[in-house]
């Protein structure tokens, strides 16, 4: 692998087979500028796998001075909804600051797709098949058996065109006919055995309403969508590799007929993201929401972009993750810890710190004046002074974590136990006297010369450093502690859900 010199202000990155292909196409002049696209089907919210594809497509476009489209692949009228469209636009905007929010729709090309179909029929490259679905399936053959020509394969172009128009005009029942490409029923690649191009389906589309009762198949629609938008490099996941010959066949035929212009888009496949402890199947995610296993698509435990955002994860964390895992031609599992690491690394740099006590026990400083309040200066970030400081009130009674106190300390425990000294973070060093059962309080006395930030701060050694909040000034809050939704490494489904993935304290 070769690597570029890093650009100023950007991390070094490695070349890969996609970048090499793009650079070769630019160098040879096959394309003048590159254009990519991210083509979600609006049938669910975007998930972490989509993030990989979004950052790859928008990232390459930016890197090579090209552009990237967000295009809804809305050719399947069932299961598609406006709510999904809106959430997808929102998520892409969040993840990609340079995205202008403009979305394109495959359904806007339905007229052109149909025009292409008429051309393919007229030029003898497509025909209407009237076999039953069962016969069609049987006659397709399989990996070891060649397919068999449909008895309708030799219909004349005129007859096919008349039938196609009747299909479009609603003269035939759902499933009565299918428009198929005429390629070869004996191709070793089953995808080339006269794939279906159009089916009859009476369904209301979320954008075109009832205008159409025939809808294009994904494999037919997608290459045309790319070509219409003058996409140069169409990136998709590995399972589409066997579709590539049809992608090229179709665009080649339409270009021969003058319906498309060169340069035609090329399809390049990469490995999909698979993360341990996560399920990225839209069907499962929809079920989690519908069955109220989680509290919506943006539940912080959901592997959706909306969930990640609510969890506090950042677009920059996603970019680091995408760069770290790279792209490959081999499907593999990425450990969820790698993803969390990228997020933690970025959050560690930017997140302002605050003190909160989740499981409180009261600590009383017996030699500290009853009504005294001292304002302690506390940095918002331990390393980054630019994030500023704040003042936190300190007084005689504080809340500390219950597990910061042990009557009989275990090995390596340096916090509160009788006779030990510990620093109250950004406050004073206190010495623990003991614990009072009756009032459930930890008793302490403070060493008045040890206030943080003063010359005496280090005059007394304390190994432990614990956080606290002032009883008088504390605010009550509901704290939600989220764990992984799946503790098993490769979950199979809803049966593997971690029922303890959300704990609330008040």
Q: How many other C-beta atoms are found inside a 10 Å radius of the C-beta of residue 217? A: 18
Residues 141 and 193: their CA atoms lie apart, in Å, by 9
Map residue 467 onto helix, strand or coil.
coil
Map residue 188 onto helix, strand or coil.
coil
Minimum CB–partner distance for residue 58 and ligand ATP (Å): 12
Among 34, 35, 49, 396, binds ligand ATP (CB under 6 A): 49
491 contacts ligand ATP (rule: CB under 6 A):
no
Nearer to ligand ATP, 179 or 322 (CB): 322
Minimum CB–partner distance for residue 326 and ligand ATP (Å): 12
**Is 90 among the catalytic positions?**
no
Burial of 277 per CB tally in 10 Å (0-12, 13-18, 19+): buried
77 contacts ligand ATP (rule: CB under 6 A):
no
Nearer to ligand ATP, 45 or 468 (CB): 45
Nearer to ligand ATP, 38 or 368 (CB): 38
Q: How far apart are the first and last CA of the chain?
A: 53
Minimum CB–partner distance for residue 404 and ligand ATP (Å): 42
Minimum CB–partner distance for residue 221 and ligand ATP (Å): 12
Residues 52 and 272: their CA atoms lie apart, in Å, by 8
State which residue has the least CB distance to ligand ATP.
Answer: 49
Map residue 105 onto helix, strand or coil.
strand
Residue from 182, 244, 282, 396 carrying the catalytic annotation: 282
Q: How many residues does the chain have?
A: 506
E-strand stretches of 326-468: 333-334, 360-365, 374-379, 389-394, 397-401, 421-424, 429-436, 441-446, 464-466
Q: How does DSSP classify residue 55?
A: H
Q: How does DSSP classify residue 504?
A: E
Q: Are 411 and 362 in contact (CB under 8 A)?
A: no
Nearer to ligand ATP, 185 or 343 (CB): 343
**Is 225 among the catalytic positions?**
no
Bridge partners (DSSP) of residue 430 are: 422, 446
Among 35, 50, 193, 222, binds ligand ATP (CB under 6 A): 50
Residues 148 and 348: their CA atoms lie apart, in Å, by 62
Q: Which range of residues in 45-53, 92-100, 121-129, 304-312 is near ligand ATP by CB under 6 A? A: 45-53
Helix (H) or strand (E) holding 245: helix 244-256
Q: Are 327 and 20 in contact (CB under 8 A)?
A: no
43 contacts ligand ATP (rule: CB under 6 A):
yes
Q: Which range of residues in 39-47, 98-106, 379-387, 482-490 is near ligand ATP by CB under 6 A? A: 39-47
Residues 314 and 309: their CA atoms lie apart, in Å, by 7
How many residues interact with ligand ATP (rule CB under 6 A)?
Answer: 14
Nearer to ligand ATP, 138 or 283 (CB): 283
Residues 57 and 36: their CA atoms lie apart, in Å, by 6
Residues 279-338 that bind ligand ATP (CB under 6 A): 280, 282
Minimum CB–partner distance for residue 12 and ligand ATP (Å): 23
Minimum CB–partner distance for residue 299 and ligand ATP (Å): 19
40 contacts ligand ATP (rule: CB under 6 A):
yes
Residues 189-208 that bind ligand ATP (CB under 6 A): none
**Is 411 among the catalytic positions?**
no
Q: Are 173 and 198 in contact (CB under 8 A)?
A: no
39 contacts ligand ATP (rule: CB under 6 A):
yes
Map residue 475 onto helix, strand or coil.
coil
Minimum CB–partner distance for residue 242 and ligand ATP (Å): 15
Q: Which range of residues in 23-31, 46-54, 337-345, 398-406 is near ligand ATP by CB under 6 A? A: 46-54
Q: Which range of residues in 43-51, 205-213, 344-352, 483-491 is near ligand ATP by CB under 6 A? A: 43-51
Residues 278 and 272: their CA atoms lie apart, in Å, by 14
273 contacts ligand ATP (rule: CB under 6 A):
yes
Minimum CB–partner distance for residue 200 and ligand ATP (Å): 22
90 contacts ligand ATP (rule: CB under 6 A):
no
Active-site annotation, residues: 41, 272, 282
Contact positions toward ligand ATP, by CB under 6 A?
Answer: 39-41, 43, 49-50, 52-53, 236-237, 272-273, 280, 282
């Amino acid at each position: 692998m070769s690597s570029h010199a890093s650009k100023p202000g950007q991390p070094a990155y490695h070349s890969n087979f996609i970048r090499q292909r793009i650079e070769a196409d630019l160098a040879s002049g096959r394309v003048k500028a590159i254009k990519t696209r991210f083509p979600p089907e609006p049938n669910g919210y975007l998930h972490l796998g989509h993030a990989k594809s979004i950052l790859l497509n928008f990232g390459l476009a930016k890197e090579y001075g090209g552009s990237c489209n967000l295009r809804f692949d809305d050719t399947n009228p069932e299961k598609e909804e406006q709510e999904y469209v809106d959430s997808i636009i929102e998520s892409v905007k969040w993840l990609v600051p340079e995205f202008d929010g403009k979305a394109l729709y495959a359904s806007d090309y339905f007229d052109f797709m149909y025009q292409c179909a008429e051309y393919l029929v007229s030029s003898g490259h497509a025909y209407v098949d009237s076999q039953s679905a069962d016969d069609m399936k049987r006659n397709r053959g399989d990996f070891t058996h060649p397919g068999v020509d449909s008895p309708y394969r030799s219909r004349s172009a005129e007859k096919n065109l008349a039938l196609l128009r009747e299909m479009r005009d609603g003269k035939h029942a759902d499933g009565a006919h299918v428009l198929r490409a005429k390629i070869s029923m004996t191709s070793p690649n089953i995808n080339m055995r006269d794939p279906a191009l159009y089916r009859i389906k009476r369904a209301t589309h979320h954008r075109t309403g009832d205008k159409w009762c025939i809808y294009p198949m994904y494999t037919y629609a997608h290459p045309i969508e790319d070509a219409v938008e003058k996409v140069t490099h169409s990136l998709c996941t590995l399972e589409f590799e066997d579709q590539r010959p049809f992608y090229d066949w179709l665009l080649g035929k339409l270009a021969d007929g003058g319906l498309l212009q060169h340069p035609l888009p090329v399809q390049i496949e990469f490995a999909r993201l698979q993360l341990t402890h996560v399920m990225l199947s839209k069907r499962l995610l929809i079920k989690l929401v519908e069955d109220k296993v989680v509290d919506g698509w943006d539940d912080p435990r959901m592997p959706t972009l909306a969930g990640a955002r609510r969890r506090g994860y950042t677009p920059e964390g996603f970019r680091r993750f995408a760069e770290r895992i790279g792209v490959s031609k081999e499907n593999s599992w990425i450990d969820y810890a790698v993803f969390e690491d990228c997020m933690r690394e970025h959050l560690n740099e930017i997140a302002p710190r605050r003190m909160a006590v989740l499981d409180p026990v009261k600590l009383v400083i017996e030699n500290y004046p009853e009504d005294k309040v001292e304002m302690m200066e506390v940095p918002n970030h331990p390393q980054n002074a630019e994030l500023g400081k704040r003042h936190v009130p300190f007084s005689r009674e504080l809340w500390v974590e219950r597990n910061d106190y042990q009557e009989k300390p275990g090995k390596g425990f340096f916090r509160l136990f009788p006779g030990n000294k510990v620093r109250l973070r950004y406050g004073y060093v206190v010495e623990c006297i003991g614990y009072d059962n009756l009032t459930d309080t930890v008793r302490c006395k403070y060493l008045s010369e040890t206030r943080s930030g003063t010359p005496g701060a280090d005059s007394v050694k304390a190994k432990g450093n614990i956080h606290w909040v002032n009883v008088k000034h504390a605010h009550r809050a509901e704290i939600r502690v989220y764990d992984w939704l799946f503790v098993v490494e490769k979950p199979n489904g809803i049966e593997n859900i971690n029922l303890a993935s959300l704990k609330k304290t008040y």
